[in-house]
Amino acid sequence: MPNSALEFDAVYDDSLIDSAAKAFVHRLFKKYLWVLVAACLLNIVGFIFVLIFPGSGTLMTAAIGILAALGPLYFPWAYFRFPGKFAAPMKRVLKPAARVSVSSSGFSLSAHGRSFTREWTKLKEILEFPEYFLLVIAPMAFTFIPKKDVPLEAQQLIRDASRSLVQPNPLMQPTGRERPAAD
pLDDT digits (tens, 9 = 90+) for 129-156: 999 999 999 988 999 999 988 899 999 9
Model confidence pLDDT, tens digit, residues 105-121: 999 999 988 899 999 99
DSSP letters, 92-150, are: HHHSSEEEEEE-SSEEEEEETTEEEEEEGGG-SEEEE-SSEEEEEEETTEEEEEESTT-
User: 91 — phi, psi (to 5°)?
Assistant: -65, -35
Residue ranges per structural domain of the chain: 6-167
Which amino acid, one-letter code, is at 33? L
Number of Cα atoms under 13 Å in the Cβ half of residue 160: 13
At residue 1, the pLDDT reads 42
Residue 24 host element (H or E) = helix 14-52
Please indicate whether residue 181 or residue 118 has the higher confidence score (pLDDT). Answer: 118
Average pLDDT across the chain, whole number: 84
Of 32-46, 97-111, 158-172, give the range with the top mean pLDDT. Answer: 97-111
Burial class (CB in 10 A: 0-12, 13-18, 19+), 140: exposed
Please indicate whether residue 120 or residue 68 has the higher confidence score (pLDDT). Answer: 120
pLDDT interval class at 98 (50, 70, 90): very high
Rounded-to-integer distance, Cα 131 and Cα 16, Å: 8
Q: How far is CA 51 from CA 60, 136, 145, in A?
A: 10, 42, 52
User: 121 — phi, psi (to 5°)?
Assistant: -65, -20
pTM reported for the whole predicted model: 0.76
**Mean pLDDT, residues 20-44:** 88
Rounded-to-integer distance, Cα 24 and Cα 135, Å: 9
pLDDT of residue 18 exceeding 90, the answer is yes
